[in-house]
């Protein structure tokens, strides 16, 4: 299966869908991630705080002929935002994966009260210059945080990974990122622990296209140029989630799903303006 790619302002291209790996750990995680790679996934998302960089790296190293096509991602935790600590943490991430470098490295959360994310960003820039990582970006950053990074360092992220799903569509954030040539990845794209997959509007659209509600929601992300990162361990779910690029939602269907957004739509009230994770 050929997956389309999206292109950032600096020419960086990323696959239009990726695999979330939170809680895919140990040998079972290696097996699940390896199966996903064989199914066609090329963007593999991880983080220091997921404690599975080793599993991701092991699966990536075993990928054979497609190894060079993979985009392995990890993320810097909030407890290591200080410049020297950040660089050491990135080095350790590379060592844990067993890879020559990590393809995409992100700052996991801005943690604005600690106010060290500019130091962390300078460390990511240095890590890229040293060849530890290939591309650098952000996760859960608000536009004002991004603007500050660019103003103080002159370096823009290629991607920002944020919470996006039909109950929290983030249209203003998407518009801002598109205007600045920053790609958007969506975490928890299918929601989590809510009734999203049973919502009548989504079920109706899914039925009209002869696909599942999950596929409908992922097609909605694709139509909005958001790179979804659905997590799935079973081969069936992995294959189903990947098979969405032939689903052509109408503008009206995209708008109907977007209209499901709620003011309190965040899954866990994790507003990056105040929420902090270490």
Q: Does the pLDDT at position 166 exceed 90? A: yes
pLDDT tens digits, one per residue of 138-159: 999 999 999 999 999 999 999 9
β-bridge pairing 19-20 and 5-7:
unpaired
Question: What is the helix (H) or strand (E) element at residue 181, kind and residue range?
Answer: none
Q: What would the mean pLDDT of 228-257 be, rounded to a whole number? A: 98
What whole-number distance in Å separates Cα of residue 80 and Cα of residue 184?
24
Helix segments in the chain, DSSP class H: 26-39, 53-61, 83-97, 117-129, 143-153, 171-179, 200-209, 213-223, 235-242, 251-258
Q: Does the pLDDT at position 80 exceed 90? A: yes
- The whole-number pLDDT of residue 194 equals 83
- The whole-number pLDDT of residue 192 equals 84
Residue 196 token pair:
């999203």
What whole-number distance in Å separates Cα of residue 73 and Cα of residue 45?
5
What whole-number distance in Å separates Cα of residue 177 and Cα of residue 180?
5
Q: Does the pLDDT at position 193 exceed 80? A: no
Q: Does the pLDDT at position 258 exceed 80? A: yes
Residue 244 token pair:
């969405």
Q: Is 50 a catalytic residue?
A: yes
181 phi, psi to nearest 5 deg: 70, 25
Q: How confident is the model at residue 84 (pLDDT cuts 50, 70, 90)?
A: very high
Q: Which residues pair with 228 in a beta bridge?
A: 186
Q: How confident is the model at residue 92 (pLDDT cuts 50, 70, 90)?
A: very high
Crossing angle of the two packed helices 251-258 and 213-223, in degrees rounded to 10: 100
Q: With beta carbons less than 8 A apart as the criterion, state whether 34 and 26 touch.
A: no
Residue with tokens 């990928």: 63
Q: With beta carbons less than 8 A apart as the criterion, state whether 56 and 84 touch.
A: no
Residue 100 token pair:
């020559």
Q: How far is CA 124 from the centre of its chain?
A: 17
What whole-number distance in Å separates Cα of residue 258 and Cα of residue 253?
9
> Among the options 22, 41, 50, 275, which is catalytic?
50
- The whole-number pLDDT of residue 2 equals 84
β-bridge pairing 102-107 and 133-139:
parallel
- The whole-number pLDDT of residue 1 equals 73
Q: Does the pLDDT at position 227 exceed 80? A: yes
């Amino acid at each position: 299966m050929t997956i389309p790619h999206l292109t950032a302002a600096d020419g960086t291209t990323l696959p239009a869908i990726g695999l979330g790996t939170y809680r895919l750990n140990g040998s079972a995680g290696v097996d699940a991630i390896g199966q996903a790679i064989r199914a066609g996934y090329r963007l593999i998302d991880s983080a220091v705080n997921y404690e599975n960089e080793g599993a991701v790296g092991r699966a990536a190293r075993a990928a054979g002929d497609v190894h060079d096509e993979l985009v392995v991602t990890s993320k810097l935790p909030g407890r290591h935002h200080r410049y020297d600590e950040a660089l050491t943490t990135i080095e350790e991430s590379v060592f844990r994966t067993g890879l020559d470098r990590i393809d995409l490295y992100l700052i996991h959360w801005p943690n604005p009260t600690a106010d060290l994310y500019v130091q962390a960003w300078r460390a990511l820039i240095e890590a890229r210059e040293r060849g530890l990582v290939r591309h650098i970006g952000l996760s859960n950053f608000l536009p004002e945080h991004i603007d500050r990074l660019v103003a103080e360092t002159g370096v823009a992220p290629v991607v920002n990974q944020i919470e996006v799903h039909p109950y929290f569509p983030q249209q203003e954030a998407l518009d801002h990122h598109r205007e600045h040539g920053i790609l958007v990845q969506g975490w928890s794209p299918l929601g989590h622990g809510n009734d999203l997959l049973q919502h009548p509007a989504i079920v109706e659209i899914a039925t009209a296209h002869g696909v599942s509600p999950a596929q409908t929601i992922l097609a909605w992300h694709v139509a909005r140029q958001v790179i979804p990162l659905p997590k799935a361990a079973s081969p069936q779910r992995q294959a189903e989630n990947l098979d969405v690029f032939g689903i052509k939602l109408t503008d009206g269907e995209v708008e109907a799903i977007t209209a499901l957004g709620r003011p309190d739509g965040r899954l866990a009230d994790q507003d990056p303006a105040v929420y902090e994770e270490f």
